[in-house]
């Protein structure tokens, strides 16, 4: 005898458990999905259909600012239910599309990062080329925010422990980010090049400008835009353009992809990634792969 078919309510509990284990809060999504299942019950309908989803969104969200959000919640759940029982339909993504203002992250493959570093190596001036080559690689292998990288001082490199000390606020709270031996060696090589250019300099900054002082965000932004063009990295869409912040996003997504490939317990590992990225918890980290379009296949190991 075949086991009884699972109900949509049972699938919903499994779906919410899975998504929350990955760090997603889904407070509004759960509310919308439970209301949608109540609507299906009223129709005495045990199968999720695209027509019922569209009808519920029209009725329940008429004049509301959130029809796109409601349909987005249904889409995720519908894909989960369909994977377990193909009788459940997945609505078209064109229905009640959510108006997005957030940019789509530009994810860099190892080849993209190598192209950026090669372009940086062609910058005029030995020190400037070394600075941007090091900066790009450091962001790629640590997931630092650009402001955190700019703020690094020499004494934030703990060579004995293989750690980077990232200062997070004026209260001097900090987090530790592990560095591979190759990254430590590359940083030491950069420091030697920098100190030859500016012996006896007064600034404690790790990464310096052509004048020997701390880098600024505006200067980095302008230079990175030129480097991306020189590396042949074109926009993938109007909302997906190569930015320096994409290196942080790429690090997070590639780390998660590597855990999945290795068969790791990703929900259990996620707090580690949250700590490295400086997030308050996994819920903030979940965004780094909830809207990804391309997942790099590996993470470069050198800085």
Taking residues 117-132, what's their average pLDDT? 96
Residues linked to residue 177 through DSSP beta bridges, in sequence order: 164
Say whether 82 is catalytic: no
pLDDT per position as a tens digit, 51-76: 999 999 888 765 555 677 788 889 99
Among 20, 61, 128, 245, the one annotated catalytic: 245
Distance CA 95, CA 72 (A): 9
Among 61, 82, 145, 167, the one annotated catalytic: 145
Q: Does the pLDDT of residue 201 top 50, yes or no?
A: yes
Q: DSSP secondary structure string, 88-150?
A: S----TTTT-----SPPP-PPPHHHHHHHHHHHHTSSSHHHHHHHHHHHHHHHHH---HHHHH
Which of 27-31, 33-37, 235-239 shows the highest mean pLDDT? Answer: 33-37
Q: Does the pLDDT of residue 301 top 60, yes or no?
A: no
Among 248, 249, 286, 289, the one annotated catalytic: 248
* Helix, strand or coil, per DSSP, at residue 167: strand
Mean pLDDT of the chain: 85
Distance CA 241, CA 247 (A): 12
Token code pair at residue 219:
């200067």
User: Per-domain residue ranges for the chain?
Assistant: 8-84, 110-290
Looking at CATH, the fold of the domain delimited by 110-290 is given as hpI Integrase; Chain A (1.10.443)
Helices (H), the chain: 8-21, 27-42, 50-60, 67-84, 110-121, 126-142, 146-151, 181-197, 217-230, 246-261, 266-277, 282-290
pLDDT per position as a tens digit, 255-275: 888 888 898 888 788 888 888
Among 19, 194, 249, 279, the one annotated catalytic: 279
In degrees and rounded to multiples of 5, residue 219 shows phi and psi of -65, -40
> Is residue 104 within 8 Å of 237, Cβ to Cβ?
yes
* Entry pTM: 0.64
What pLDDT is attached to residue 300?
A: 43
Taking residues 1-22, what's their average pLDDT? 80
Edge-to-edge, what's the strand order for the sheet holding 174-178? 157-158, 163-167, 174-178
* Helix, strand or coil, per DSSP, at residue 227: helix
Q: DSSP state, 272?
A: H
Say whether 245 is catalytic: yes
Say whether 288 is catalytic: yes
């Amino acid at each position: 005898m075949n086991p009884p078919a699972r109900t949509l309510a049972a699938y919903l509990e499994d779906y919410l458990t899975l998504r929350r284990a990955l760090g997603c809060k889904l407070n509004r999504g759960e509310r919308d999905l439970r209301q949608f299942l109540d609507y299906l019950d009223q129709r005495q309908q045990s199968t999720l259909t695209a027509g019922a989803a569209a009808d519920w969104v029209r009725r329940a969200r008429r004049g509301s600012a959130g029809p796109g959000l409601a349909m987005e919640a249904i889409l995720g759940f519908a894909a989960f239910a369909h994977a377990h029982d193909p009788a459940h339909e997945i609505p078209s993504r064109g229905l009640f599309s959510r108006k997005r203002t957030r940019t789509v992250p530009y994810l860099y493959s190892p080849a993209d990062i190598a192209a950026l570093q090669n372009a940086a190596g062609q910058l005029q001036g030995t020190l400037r080329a070394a600075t941007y080559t090091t900066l790009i690689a450091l962001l790629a292998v640590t997931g630092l925010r650009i402001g955190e990288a700019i703020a690094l001082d020499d004494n934030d490199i703990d060579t004995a422990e293989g750690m980077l000390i990232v200062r997070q606020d004026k209260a001097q709270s900090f987090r530790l980010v592990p560095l591979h031996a190759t990254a430590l060696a590359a940083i030491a090589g950069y420091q030697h090049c920098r100190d030859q250019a500016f012996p006896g300099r007064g600034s404690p900054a790790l990464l310096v400008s052509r004048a020997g002082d701390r880098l600024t965000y505006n200067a980095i932004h302008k230079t990175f835009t030129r480097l991306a063009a020189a590396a042949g990295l074109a926009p993938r869409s109007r909302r997906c353009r190569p930015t320096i912040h994409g290196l942080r996003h790429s690090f997070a997504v590639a780390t998660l992809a590597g855990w999945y490939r290795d068969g790791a317990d990703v929900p259990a590992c996620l707090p580690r990634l949250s700590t490295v990225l400086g997030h308050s918890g996994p819920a903030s980290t979940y965004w780094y792969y909830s809207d990804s379009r391309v997942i790099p296949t590996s993470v470069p190991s050198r800085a």
